[in-house]
C-alpha cells in the first residue's frame, strides 16, 4: 500500500539490545532499591505465631504492619506490634485499650475504662474471643482483677483479644510509645 522511502542520509533504526539491557538492568535495580526502602522504613509483612489475637488475626495469616506511626495516629481499638518489655528480641501483637490519662481497672475479667465497661462502650471494635475460664479471686490472679491504674503520658494499656492465652499490660503494665514498632493496616 504505502511505502516509506528513506530520506538521503537517514539510517535505518535497529533494535539496540545493549541499550535495552542497560535500561532494563537500571530499572530493576532502582525498583529493587525502592521496594527494599518501603519494606524497611514504611510497611512490612508479619505472620502471627500465636492465637492471642484470634479470630480477628488468626495464627499463620499474613498481615501488614505500618512503621509510620505517630502518637497522634493511635486510637482505641487499633492493633499494634510492640517490642516485648520483658523478653528481648520478642514482639507482641496487641490491641490498644487505654491511652494517656485513662483510668483502667479490671473486675471479674471485665475491663473498665474511665468507669465504663468495654461492653457498654460504643466502639468500632469488640472483644473477638471470650475468655473460656471463670474469673479467679483477686488474691489469686491480678490478671482478672486489677485495681485502678492511671495510664501515664505517652503510654498505652494493651490487651489481647484472646486474653486467656497471652501476655499483655495486665502482666507488665502500660507500654511506652517508644516500644511500639508499628500498627496493623
| Residue 94 belongs to domain with CATH number | 2.10.109.10
Average pLDDT over residues 165-185: 88
Residue 2 falls within a domain, yes or no? Answer: no
Residue 144 and residue 6: Cα distance in Å, rounded? Answer: 88
Residue 40 falls within a domain, yes or no? Answer: no
Residue 16 falls within a domain, yes or no? Answer: no
- As for how many domains the chain has, the answer is 1
CA distances from 63 to 12, 21, 51, 140, 177 (A): 53, 36, 14, 36, 21
Beta bridge partners of 91: 83
Average pLDDT over residues 107-128: 74
C-beta separation of 58 from 44 below 8 A:
no
The parent domain of residue 60 ranges over 45-184
- Tens of pLDDT, residues 68-115: 888 888 998 899 999 988 888 888 899 999 999 999 988 878 888 888
pTM: 0.74
Residue 22 falls within a domain, yes or no? Answer: no
Looking at residue 30, what DSSP letter applies?
A: H
Q: Who wins on pLDDT, 166 or 28?
A: 28
Looking at residue 121, what DSSP letter applies?
A: S
Euclidean distance between the first and the last CA atom of the chain, given in angstroms as a whole number: 58
Grid cell digits, residue 77: 481499638
Residue 154 falls within a domain, yes or no? Answer: yes
Amino acid at each position: 500500500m504505502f511505502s516509506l522511502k528513506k530520506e538521503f542520509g537517514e539510517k535505518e533504526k535497529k533494535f539496540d539490545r545493549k541499550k535495552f539491557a542497560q535500561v532494563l538492568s537500571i530499572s530493576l535495580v532502582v525498583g529493587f532499591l525502592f521496594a527494599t526502602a518501603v519494606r524497611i522504613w514504611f510497611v512490612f509483612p508479619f505472620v502471627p505465631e500465636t492465637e492471642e489475637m484470634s479470630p480477628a488475626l488468626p495464627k499463620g495469616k499474613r498481615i501488614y504492619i505500618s512503621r509510620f506511626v505517630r502518637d497522634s495516629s493511635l486510637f482505641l481499638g487499633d492493633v499494634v506490634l510492640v517490642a516485648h518489655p520483658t523478653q528481648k528480641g520478642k514482639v507482641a501483637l496487641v490491641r490498644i485499650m487505654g491511652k494517656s490519662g485513662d483510668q483502667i481497672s479490671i473486675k471479674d475479667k471485665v475491663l473498665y475504662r474511665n468507669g465504663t465497661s468495654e461492653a457498654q462502650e460504643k466502639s468500632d471494635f469488640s472483644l473477638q474471643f471470650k475468655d473460656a475460664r471463670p474469673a479467679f479471686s483477686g488474691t489469686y490472679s491480678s490478671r482478672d482483677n486489677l485495681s485502678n491504674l492511671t495510664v501515664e503520658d505517652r503510654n498505652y494499656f494493651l490487651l489481647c483479644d484472646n486474653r486467656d492465652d497471652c501476655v499483655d499490660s495486665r502482666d507488665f503494665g502500660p507500654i511506652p510509645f517508644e516500644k511500639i514498632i508499628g500498627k496493623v493496616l
